[in-house]
Each structure stands twice: as structure tokens, then as C-alpha cells.
Amino acid sequence: MEIKAIAGDIVKIETGAVIVNFFEDSGQPEGDAAAVDTAMDGAISRLIKQGDIKGKLNEITLLHCVGKLPSAHVVVVGLGKKPKLTLDKVRGAVGEVCRYLRQKSIDRIATGLLGAGVNGFKTGDAVQAITEGAMLGLYTFRKHMTKKENNHTEVKEFAIVGRDKASMARAVNRGKIIAEAVNWTRDLVNEPSNFMTPAAMAEAARKIAGDYGFKIEVLEKQQMASLGMGALLGVAQGSQQSPRFIILTYKGKKSNTVDMALVGKGITFDSGGIDIKPQEGMHEMKGDMAGGASVLAALTAIARLKAPFNVTALVPATENMPGGSAQKPGDVVTAMNGKTIEVLNTDAEGRLILADALSYARKLEAKAIIDVATLTGACRAALGTICTGAFTNNQAFIDKLIAAGNEVGELMWQFPMFEEYDEQIKSDVADIKNLGGKFAGAITAAKFLAEFIDNTPWVHLDIAGTSDTDKDKGYQVKGATGVPVRALVNLVLKMSKE
């Protein structure tokens, strides 16, 4: 799909459909919608008067232009109540409308600047959100379908029509870079585990390293052993697939500091290991590397947007399998920082591989660390699929990340980290255990991770509930969501300006 910015008049565009918006509380068409309404001899205002167009969020009304405009159709999309409009709602509405039009095989679309000027939204930010909405909403994963054509045509052209072409084109470019990073994440996460092995994940990282000039290092088993990554190796030992530890470095400025380490859980399949999972939903565990994919993708966007910041992505990648040589409940392993861990449940493997990855980030002397992981069912039970669980040792840092997420519509909710929870991960035979008991599972998992951090400002994001979705909605498409790529990119862009 080609996305372009056009300086011009929406009523003069020759295309398959033009999109204009209507607010629930505005009474009559405004802006582009008013211009289209006039050209259509008042068709839109009549529909509003009749109550056919109400302006509820994501309400879609398709009109045929019957020669009154050069475009074949007009779509009026509802954006809800004006004071409640956010750019994320614009992103979602564009995603919905694009899928609706694709379903009708309308493959050329033009839109006005939905949301621009409302609630102080800048044109550039609206254009970026519109671009992201179209690209994210039209995402498909059809790689393994032998029937290559869909039962509709794909959208070929998407034009955003406004006044200042140059600044709009820059905003389109930003949106494109970010949406491509999110869709790249979705591709990796949706990929079945017989394709997306640890080696394949390392190959994907090599590809982006080549494309964007990152330094890349991929550690194999031997090197992990000499670094003392006993927790990661313990998880890997039950699988026929050999593990990888991916280190990808972007240098956006001269100094050699690591301003930020982004650590992502890279379990390419989580069977549970010897504590094997029940059948129901086990296939979803092909997506247990979503955190790892998201930090790699975030790095691509950070580099393409040329953030003056040094960021290193770390991904411990392995399967968690119950092979004959698998680790067993009760085993004790030693992590890279020297701490010993009693493995009381082999299905709590995420925190084990992150123990070594966080230790590695500390060894790099990263100034700040964020880890992203599909870590606990408990987090999904607590927050559902609406927001990501967030945990920290540094309130100012998490405030920044949560704010960056809110700005782009990736919601996060902070959990407590009271000292009192530490008791739940004390072991009888080792320094700590990987199981926190029946209650507060998301928190005790975070408490376990904190054992490998010390004082470095750190946030842990548990995306178990937000990394995939079971339905198309707004700019989300059934399957992997690509959360929290956009929040991470936004945070780094903001921090690099400080």
C-alpha cells in the first residue's frame, strides 16, 4: 500500500472513497465534511437530521457519490464526543474504516485530517495517527495460506489530504516507520514456533542489524556457559533447539554509554516444560517471545527516527520443552550474577531467562533498564487485555514510561512492589525460588526479577494480557498486537530530547 500526503481539496480528489468525520455533539457537518455535504447537495446533513448518522465512535456510513464528486464513495465516520476525542480514537477509527472499505474491495482511499485541530491536536500528530491507523488496521498474516489472494482486493493507495504537503509527508514517514516496526513484531509473534525458533529469531535480528547498521552479537550455548548463564541454560536444556542470546546495539550519539537496555523475553514456545501446560490454549505459547520481538522492533524505529540515544536490545531466546534432559522441579541453578535459584515450577521459565538477561544488562552498566515479557497469567487475570502491568524500583522512571504509553494509546497500570512480598520468593535450599505461591503472582514474578537489578532505574512490563487479541478492533487485528513497541519508541524519543 502506498501512503501519500496530498495538498489539495477533498472534494476534488478522484479516488475510490473519501473519508470525512462527524462528531456526536456537533449537530451539523464541519470542515471537510461540510465541503463534501455541499457538493453532495446536503446528503450528509439530511442523514444527520434523519438520525441515520449519529456520530458515535467508529460508526460508518457509506454514501455513493453518483457523479457529484470525482470520488466514487464518501464514508462518514463517527468520532464520538468532541471533548473525549484522543489521537488513539482517530487511529482506531481509521483502522476500522480501512478494513470496512477493503471488505468492499475499494482499493483507493483518501482521507481528510481527522482529528486535527480538535482538543489542540497538531496536524502532524493527526497525520501520523491516521497513517498508523491505516497500516496497523490493514495488517494481515497470510504467509502460510496457500490461497494467496484474499476474497477482496488489498488497498493499494491511501492519501491524506490537507494543506502543508511537506510537513504532512514528514508525519506520514514517522507513522510509517512506527507502524512497520509494530507490524514486524506482529509477524514474528504470529509465526508458528516451528518457524520462529531461537535461531530464526537471531536471523531476524541479523537482518535488521544489516538493514539499519546495528552492531550485533549472538551468543551460543558455549558462550552462555562461560558467562555463567545457568538460569537460561537450565530452561534451554529440555529442547532440541539450541538457545541464542541476542545483543543488538544502536548508537545514536558519540559516547559509549548504554543509555537504555531493552530486555525482551524470547521463549519461542512455552510448553511449560516438565510442569507441562494443559492442552487448552497451549498453541498461544508460540507468542511467548512477544517481548523479545517488541524490543528488537523498537530499536529499528528508534534508529530510523535517528534518536540521539544509545540503546541496546537483549533477547534471551529459547524453547521451554519437557525433553529427557529437561530441568526438573526442585533443581537449583545459578544465574550470571551468582544468585542461586530453586526451580519449583519449570513453567515459570520467563523469570529464569530474564534473570541472566537482566544480569547482562547490569554488566553493560546500562543507565536504565526496561524488560518486556509475557510473564504471568496472573497479570492477565488482574488487568485483562486492556492494559499492560508495570512494576518498578524507580517512580520517576515508570511515570515517564506510563505517560509515554498513554500518549500513544498503549495503556499501563502500575502494581505495588512492597518489601513484604519478598518473603514469598524465599527458598529453603537456594537464595530464591521461581515460584511465589498462590496469590499476587504478577507481583512475585516482578519481585524475582528485581533480585537481578539493584539500583539501576528499571521497569518491568508484563504483557501477558496485551500481547495478543482475539478480535479485530480499531487498529488491532486478531492475533499479535505489537504492544509495547509504540510506547517504547515514544519514551526513547522523549528521553533523548531531555
Under rule CB under 6 A, residue 378 binds ligand BES: yes
**DSSP assignment string, 293-344:** HHHHHHHHHHHHTT-SSEEEEEEEEEEE---TT---TTEEEE-TTS-EEEES
* Contact map string, positions 247 to 286, toward ligand BES, x by CB under 6 A: -----------------------x----------------
Of the pair 90, 189, the CB lying nearest ligand BES is at 189
* CB of residue 462 to ligand BES, shortest distance in Å: 9
- Nearest-angstrom CA–CA distance, 42 and 40: 6
Residue 59 contact, options ligand BES, Zn ion, none, Cβ 5-8 Å cut-off depending on partner type: none
Contacts of 23 (CB under 8 A, 6+ apart): 30, 55, 78, 79, 80, 81, 82, 85
**349, 356, 410, 451: residue in contact with ligand BES (rule CB under 6 A):** 349
Residue 356 contact, options ligand BES, Zn ion, none, Cβ 5-8 Å cut-off depending on partner type: none
φ, ψ at 258 (rounded to 5°): -100, 105
Residue 388: closest CA among 470, 482, 283, 271: 482
Residues 216 to 275 in contact with Zn ion, rule: CB under 5 A? 267, 270
Distances (CA, A) of 394 to 366, 400, 410, 421, 493: 15, 10, 20, 17, 20
Q: How many residues sit in the footprint of ligand BES (CB under 6 A)?
A: 16
* Contact map string, positions 95 to 134, toward ligand BES, x by CB under 6 A: ----------------------------------------
Half-sphere exposure of 350 (CA within 13 A, CB side): 33
The three three-digit cell numbers of residue 321, written as one number: 520443552
* CB of residue 286 to Zn ion, shortest distance in Å: 11
Among the candidate windows 92-100, 209-217, 371-379, 469-477, which touches ligand BES by CB under 6 A? 371-379
Under rule CB under 6 A, residue 377 binds ligand BES: yes
- Nearest-angstrom CA–CA distance, 374 and 465: 8
**DSSP assignment string, 407-462:** HHT--EEEPP--GGGGGGGB-SSSSEES---SS-HHHHHHHHHHTTTTTS-EEEEE
**61, 242, 340, 345: residue in contact with ligand BES (rule CB under 6 A):** 345
| 3-state SS class at 12 | helix
Contacts of 355 (CB under 8 A, 6+ apart): 231, 232, 335, 336, 337, 339, 341, 448, 449, 451, 452
Under rule CB under 6 A, residue 348 binds ligand BES: yes
* CB of residue 65 to ligand BES, shortest distance in Å: 47
Residue 277 appears among annotated catalytic residues = yes
Under rule CB under 6 A, residue 347 binds ligand BES: yes
Residue 380 contact, options Zn ion, ligand BES, none, Cβ 5-8 Å cut-off depending on partner type: ligand BES
**Residue tagged active-site, from 351, 362, 380, 400:** 351
Q: Is the peptide bond before 484 cis (omega within 30 degrees of 0)?
A: yes
Among the candidate windows 20-28, 199-207, 218-226, 281-289, which touches Zn ion by CB under 5 A? 281-289
Strand partners, 244: 317
**32, 288, 342, 371: residue in contact with ligand BES (rule CB under 6 A):** 288
* CB of residue 437 to ligand BES, shortest distance in Å: 9
Residue 61 contact, options Zn ion, ligand BES, none, Cβ 5-8 Å cut-off depending on partner type: none
* Contact map string, positions 417 to 456, toward Zn ion, x by CB under 5 A: ----------------------------------------
Residues 449 to 478 in contact with ligand BES, rule: CB under 6 A? 464
Under rule CB under 6 A, residue 376 binds ligand BES: yes
Residue 257 contact, options ligand BES, Zn ion, none, Cβ 5-8 Å cut-off depending on partner type: none
Among the candidate windows 26-34, 85-93, 185-193, 377-385, which touches ligand BES by CB under 6 A? 377-385
**32, 96, 107, 288: residue in contact with Zn ion (rule CB under 5 A):** 288
Of the pair 27, 384, the CB lying nearest ligand BES is at 384
Helices (H), 66-212: 87-103, 123-137, 165-190, 198-212
Residue 190 contact, options ligand BES, Zn ion, none, Cβ 5-8 Å cut-off depending on partner type: none
**Residue tagged active-site, from 277, 339, 473, 494:** 277
Q: How many CB atoms lie within 10 A of CB 407?
A: 17
Residue 197: closest CA among 232, 230, 236, 228: 236
Strand partners, 253: none
Residue 20: closest CA among 106, 109, 86: 109
**73, 286, 380, 447: residue in contact with ligand BES (rule CB under 6 A):** 380
Counting beta carbons within 10 angstroms of the beta carbon of residue 279, is it exposed (0 to 12), middle (13 to 18) or buried (19 or more)? exposed
Residues 332 to 351 in contact with Zn ion, rule: CB under 5 A? 347, 349-350
Under rule CB under 6 A, residue 435 binds ligand BES: yes
The three three-digit cell numbers of residue 12, written as one number: 476534488
Counting beta carbons within 10 angstroms of the beta carbon of residue 103, is it exposed (0 to 12), middle (13 to 18) or buried (19 or more)? exposed
Residues marked active site are found at 277, 351
Binding positions for ligand BES, rule: CB under 6 A: 270, 288, 345, 347-350, 374-378, 380, 435, 441, 464
Binding positions for Zn ion, rule: CB under 5 A: 267, 270, 288, 347, 349-350
